[in-house]
Structure 1
Amino acid sequence: MTNNVQMENAMIDSSRLRQAGFRGELIEPGDPRYDDARTVFNVSIDRRPLLIARCVDADDVSRTVLFAREQDLPLAVRGTGHNVAGYAVCDGGVVIDLSLMKAIAVDSSARTVRAQGGCNWGEVNDALQPFGLAATGGFVSITGVAGLTLGGGFGWLVRKHGLALDNLQSAEIVLADGRTVNGSSHENEDLFWAIRGGGGNFGVVTSFEFRVYPAGTVLAGIVLHPASAAADAIRTWRDMEMEAPEESTIGALLLHMPDDPSLPPALRGAPVAGLGGVYAGPVEEGEKALRALREYGPPLVDKFAPMPYNEAQRMADALWPPGLHGYWKSSYLKGLDDAAIAVVVDAFARVPSRQTVIVVEHYGNSAWSRVSESATAFGHREWPWNIVVTSAWSDAGDAERNIAWTRELMDALLPYRAPAAYVNYLGGDEGSAGLQAAYGSKLERLAAIKAKYDSANLFRQNPNIVPAAQG
C-alpha cells in the first residue's frame, strides 16, 4: 500500500475503543492475524483496513460505530465475508467483524430461531436439525445469515416458505448514532420494512429472529446430463416447473465436474448440465413428484436421496468454494424461452474457466410469489426466473478474460432480461443502474428512510442507497 495509508496506520488510536469499554478483539496492520482477518470469499478483493474490530455483542458494535464516525473513517460490516463484491472490507477504514457473534437460540415450541450476525446458514440449520426444523435461507451453507437476509434470502425452501426476509420476525439493529433498537412489524416499522431487502444501508443488524419449519428429512440431490444434451435438459426442466409442487425447489446448472480419479472416466472434468435441489415434504411424495425429472434422458448420474435438511444445505458447497477469484452477474428473466436457453448453453461451451457455474433459478407459483409487493423493500416478485453467472478462476492473471466472457454473456441475454435484479447477486460494478434494477420504484422510499436513520451515509460500503437529503 501507499505511504499515505501506512502513515494513517500509525495515527489511528484504537486504544480509545478499549477505553470506551470495547471487549472484543482489535486487529491492526502488523498483527499476525491481519491478513487472514481481511481476506474474504472472493480473493480478488484485496483491501487493507486500518482496524478490524471483532465484536462480541451489540455494545461492541455500537462503540465501533461511534469510533468510526468520530474519526470520520470508512466503515464496513462483515458477517461472514461471503459477498462476491467484497463489501465486508474497506481500504483505510474500520471493519466491524461479527465473526465472534455466533449465538443461536432455538424455540422449538414457537418454531423460531434467533441467530447473531456472525452465523452462517449451515450453523443455523445444524442447530435446528435435532428438532426436525429448518430455516429458509441459503443454497450454500457458508453464506452469511446477515448479508443474505438483508438483501433477500433465496434458499432450498423458497418455494414452500418464501425468502429468509419473508420469515424475519424481528431484528436487533445498531444505528449510525450508536443506539441499539429493535425492528419488527410493531416496532420501528419503517426500519423493519427497509432492512428486508435494503441491505446494510440502515445499520448493523446484530441478531435476527426467524420463523422456522418442519423439514427433518428431505429428498435432495442432482441429476447430471452431458453438455451436448444441456439445452434439451433445461427445456425439459422448465416445462416440468410449470406443474412443480411448492415443496420442490429445483434449479438448472451448467458446470464442469472435478478432475477426480474417483469419478468414472467419462465424468472427470466433463462439462455437464445439472438439475438439482430439494423436495421439502414427505420423501415418498417427493419420489413421485421428481420421478419424471430423474428418469428423463436418462441422466448420466442420479444423486437424489433422502437426507437430513442440514446435509442438503451443504450439498452444493463444493461448487462455490472459498479461495477463488470471482465475478458475478445476474438478472431476472422475462421468461425462459428456447432462444434464451440457447444463448446460455452456447456461451457455456466457450467458458474460459472450469470453475465457473451458471445457475438458472425458478421461484414462481409458490409462497415467494404470494407475498405482497409492498410488504418489504425486496421487489420484483413478478419475475419468477433468474440467472446468475458465478464466474470463478484460480490465477489472478485470468481476470480479464473471465470478466469479459461474463459481460458478453449478459449482453447477449439483453433481449431476454427483465428490468430487474436481485441485489445479493450483483457483482459490485453496476452503480446506479444496479440500484435501479434492484429496487425500482421503491428506491425513493428507501432513500427517505435512509435519511431518517443514516443521514450522513455512514453505512455506504454496500450497494449504496444515498440519503434523500443528499440525492
Structure 2
Amino acid sequence: MAEDVLQELQAHFRGAVVARDGAPDTTEPRAAWNAMHTDSPAIATRCSGAADVVDAVRFAREHGLLVGVRGGGHSVGGLSTIRDGMLIDLSAMRGVQVDPVRRLAHVQGGALLGDVDRETQAFGLATPLGRVSETGVAGLTLGGGYGNLNSKYGLSCDNVVEAQVVTADGRLLTASADENPDLFWALRGGGGNFGIVTSFTFRLHPVGPIVGFVGTFYPLADLAEVERRWRDYVEDAPREVTSFIVTMTFPAAPGMPDVIHDRPVAIVGGVHCGEPEAGMGVLQPLRELGTPLFDMSQPMPYDVMQASFDAFFPRQTLRAYWKSQYLDVLPDEAIDIIAARASERPGPMSLVNTFHLGGAVHDVGTEETAFPERSAPFLVSFDSMWTDPAQDEAAVAWTRSAWEQMRAFGTGAPFLNFTGLADEPLDAGVGAAFGRNLERLRRVKTAYDPENFFRLNNNVLPLA
C-alpha cells in the first residue's frame, strides 16, 4: 500500500499505524498467546480509543482489507492473529472505571481480567470473569465467560448491561436492553461476529477482598476416585461455591514443595465467594476426597486467587489445541475415561479438566442471550499444550481422539472459547454450539454485517 495512503490514516489517528514487511513485529505491545498462530498482518492499527477503531474499520472497508481484532490476544484458536490484511489492536485500550454506588464497571475493549479485578477490588466488588488474569475481557465475555463466580453470579456475558460497538459500516453504536436490543442479545455469547466492542459496562457484586479458596493436590493415579467424590459434592454444593478439577504435571516451581515437583497431579480447585471463614468450612470436603500430596487451601485475596494459574499460560511459549464437551451427567464410565486420558496426556503441560456449572448459569433461559448452554452441569476440556512444532500432528490427533471418546457421554455441543483450530473452517462447531439460537444470530449478523466483514471468529454466516 502506498506510503501516502498510510500517512493519510495516521494523520488523524491517535494511536500508531504500523506497516510490516511480513516479519513478526518484536515491538508488538501484546503478543498473541498461542504460539501455533504467529501470522503477521500487513498493517497493525494500535488504537487509543473508539474513534481510532472507527477510522480503522472505515479505512479497511475502503481499501478492501481483511480485518482481524486483538483484545487480550488469548484466543486458543488464534482468532486474534491475521495473515496480511489489517490487525485492529485494542491492547492500549485497557481503562477501567468503577462506579461503586451503582455497582457498575466501565471497561475498555482491550482490558485484561486482571485490570478489572485490580480496580473493582478496591471497592470490594467483582464481576464474573475467567481464571487466568492475562485473558482479554472482550473475547472471554463475547464467548460467554466461565470463571470462579459462575454459580453465584452467572457468566460474564450475563453481567453486561451495555456495550459500545463499532459495526462493519463504521458506526459507533450503543447496545443495551433499550438501544439496539437485538445487537445486545447477540453480543452476549455470540462472539466477535457483529462488531468491535470498544467498551463494556458490567454489573458488579460484593466479593472479597478475601474469599475461601481450595487448592488441593491429589496423586493423578487417584483421579477416578477423587472425581467421583468431587461430583457428589458439587451436585449439592451451595451457590457460593464454584469448583473444578485440573490434571497436569506440576513443574518444579520455586516455593512449592518437592513432593509435587514434576509430578502428575489432580488439583481440586474451589472458590467460596461469601464470608471466608465460613466458606472454608463449606469447602472442607474438597480437601478430603482422598489422601492429598499437598494442600494450599486458605482464605485468600480474591485478585491473588484470580491470577494463581497465570504461570501455566505464558504468551508465545505454548502451542495449544483444545476441545471441549458439555455433559448432562458425569457417570462413572465417563470419569474412568477422563482418568485414563489424563494419565496419557501428550506432554506435561497438557491439561484434562472437568468444570462444574450450575446455579446462576442455569437461571438464564436458553434464548435470553445468544449463549445457549444453560442446563449441562459439567464441561470436560482436553487442553493439549506443548512447545515443539514437531509434536503438532500427534498432539492434535490425541485431543481429537479424547474428545471423540467423551462424545459418547456429551450433549454434542462444544464451548467455542475452548476450541482450537488446526485445519478446521472458522464456522466449525458453530451450529452445534449455538443450536436453535443460530438462526436468530444469522438474522442479527445480516442486519449489522451482511457482507461478513468480521469473519475471523467462530463465524456466524449472514443469511444469503
TM-score, structure 1 length as denominator? 0.94
Q: How does 1:13-412 map to 2 (within 5 A)?
A: 13-19=5-11, 21-30=12-21, 34-37=25-28, 39-216=31-208, 217-260=210-253, 262-322=255-315, 323-364=317-358, 366-412=359-405
Per-residue deviation, 1:117: 0.6
1: CA distance between counterparts of 2:48 and 2:306?
27
| 2:444 match: secondary structure | helix
- Amino acid aligned to 1:155: G
Residues 68 and 75, structure 1, Cα contact 8 Å, conserved in 2: yes
| 2:260 match: secondary structure | coil
Q: Would you say how many aligned residue pairs link Structure 1 and Structure 2?
A: 459
| Residue deviations 1:406-449 (CA, integer Å, cap 9, x gap) | 11111121211212121211113554440012101111111111
Moved more, 318-327 or 439-448: 318-327
1: CA distance between counterparts of 2:293 and 2:78?
37
Q: How does 1:389-468 map to 2 (within 5 A)?
A: 389-428=382-421, 430-431=424-425, 432-468=427-463
| 2:334 match: secondary structure | helix
Moved more, 327-336 or 190-199: 327-336
2: CA distance between counterparts of 1:208 and 1:314?
22
| 1:249 match: secondary structure | strand
- Amino acid aligned to 2:14: R
- Amino acid aligned to 1:373: T
- Amino acid aligned to 2:239: E
| Residue deviations 1:137-184 (CA, integer Å, cap 9, x gap) | 111111100000011011110101000110001000001111101000
1: CA distance between counterparts of 2:295 and 2:288?
9
| 1:447 match: secondary structure | helix
| Residue deviations 1:42-87 (CA, integer Å, cap 9, x gap) | 0110212100100011110011001111111110010010011111
Per-residue deviation, 1:374: 1.5
- Amino acid aligned to 1:278: V
TM-score, structure 2 length as denominator? 0.95
Residues 12 and 50, structure 1, Cα contact 8 Å, conserved in 2: no
Residues 323 and 414, structure 2, Cα contact 8 Å, conserved in 1: no
Distance 1:24 1:33, change over 3 A: farther
| 1:130 match: secondary structure | helix
Query: Structure 2: which 5+ runs fail to align?
Result: none
Residues 325 and 406, structure 2, Cα contact 8 Å, conserved in 1: no
- Amino acid aligned to 1:417: G
2: CA distance between counterparts of 1:259 and 1:151?
34
| 2:401 match: secondary structure | helix
Alpha carbon RMSD of aligned pairs, Å? Answer: 1.7
2: CA distance between counterparts of 1:433 and 1:457?
16
Residues 428 and 463, structure 1, Cα contact 8 Å, conserved in 2: no
Where has structure 1 moved over 3 Å in runs of 4 or more? 9-13, 30-33, 260-266, 429-433
Query: Structure 1: which 5+ runs fail to align?
Result: 1-8
Distance 1:260 1:283, change over 3 A: closer
